[in-house]
């Protein structure tokens, strides 16, 4: 009995040893990865934060005068903008209106541009300084004049070409009819992404983190479970004298032949034409009523 127990202990100890030996590289990789993550966190915490240089601007960033967002959505957008502003050091403002911009002799474009620029200037927006770095999206829901204008200032004005402005507006228009909240979030994301040099934040989607290990573990188990008793290693002539059959008769006599033919139909397929690259105008630089340099652009929906 004592002998059996000793053997059992030895077997268990061997099993543990085998286990740790087998997974040693995985465990080392995890320890190294956690170490790197910890080091990065320390470095980030030690890095001096870029402080906001302009305290004259209001805390509010979302002005939903057209009332297209719920209160919860407004709150979520405010929080989201706060995080993005801290990371990219620009002010991000959203204004929705329901206004006629073509009163008098004013054109829609001029009306939108002046409204957006003036709103930015009058509220003293700008991350680093008054009328400094930032962008404002003005979204008009007035019937027949629905459309958006993106006003840029400071570093955003320096960085954004008309092309960049148009791409931000594209992102907004892709979703505005279905979900204004998603469209305005896309404005923030796309503006930040382009301020980041057009580079997407690299991350591993949650579904990959969840599903990939399951798939790998199932395949791993399947591969290691597979085993066969043994392969059949005999050949048909294994037990035949000299390994060959004696051929008494071996003839192949031609009998007849027939030929059939078929016409191959040739369907000529047309090639698709490439689309032209559309760039809207109106984004260039200009000076607002208060004398601040702005960039911007917009179009109707």
- CB of 72 or CB of 265, closer to other proteins: 265
The structure tokens listed for 220 are 């791993």
SS3 of 111-172: the string is HHHHHHHHHHHHCCCCCCCCCCCEEEEEEECCCCCCEEEEEEECHHHHHCCHHHHHHHHHHH
Closest approach, Cβ 200 to other proteins, in A, equals: 11
- CB of 228 or CB of 276, closer to other proteins: 228
Closest approach, Cβ 55 to other proteins, in A, equals: 29
- CB of 29 or CB of 287, closer to other proteins: 29
What is the three-class DSSP state of 300? strand
- CB of 1 or CB of 255, closer to other proteins: 255
Closest approach, Cβ 298 to other proteins, in A, equals: 33
| CA end-to-end distance (rounded Å), the chain | 86
Closest approach, Cβ 26 to other proteins, in A, equals: 4
Closest approach, Cβ 252 to other proteins, in A, equals: 5
**Rounded Cα–Cα distance for residues 262 and 111 (Å):** 70
| Rg, C-alpha atoms of the chain | 35
The answer to whether residues 140 and 169 touch, using CB atoms and an 8 Å cutoff, is no
- CB of 259 or CB of 270, closer to other proteins: 259
Residue 173: CB atoms within 10 A of its CB come to: 15
């Amino acid at each position: 009995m004592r002998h059996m127990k000793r053997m059992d202990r030895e077997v268990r100890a061997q099993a543990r040893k085998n286990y740790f030996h087998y997974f040693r590289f995985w465990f080392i990789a995890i320890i190294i990865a956690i170490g790197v993550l910890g080091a990065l966190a320390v470095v980030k915490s030690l890095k001096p934060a870029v402080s906001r240089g302009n305290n004259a601007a209001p805390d509010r960033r979302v002005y939903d005068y057209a009332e297209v967002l719920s209160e919860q959505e407004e709150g979520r957008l405010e929080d989201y903008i706060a995080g993005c502003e801290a990371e990219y050091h620009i002010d991000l403002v959203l204004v929705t209106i329901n206004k006629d911009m073509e009163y008098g002799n004013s054109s829609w474009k001029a009306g939108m541009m002046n409204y957006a620029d003036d709103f930015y200037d009058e509220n003293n927006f700008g991350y680093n300084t008054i009328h400094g770095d930032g962008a404002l999206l003005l979204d008009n829901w007035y019937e027949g004049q629905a459309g958006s204008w993106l006003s840029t200032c400071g570093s955003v004005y320096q960085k954004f070409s008309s092309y960049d402005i148009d791409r931000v507006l594209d992102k907004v228009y892709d979703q505005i009819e279905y979900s204004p909240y998603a469209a305005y979030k896309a404005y923030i994301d796309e503006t930040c992404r382009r301020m980041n040099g057009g580079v997407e934040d690299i991350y591993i989607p949650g579904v990959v983190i969840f599903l990939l290990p399951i798939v790998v573990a199932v395949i791993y188990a399947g591969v290691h479970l597979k085993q066969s008793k043994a392969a059949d290693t005999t050949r048909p002539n294994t037990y035949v004298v000299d390994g060959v059959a004696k051929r008494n008769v071996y003839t192949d006599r031609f009998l007849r032949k027939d030929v059939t033919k078929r016409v191959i139909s040739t369907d000529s397929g047309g090639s698709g034409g490439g689309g032209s690259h559309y760039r809207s105008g109106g984004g260039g630089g200009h000076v607002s009523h208060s004398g601040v340099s702005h960039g911007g652009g917009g179009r109707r929906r």
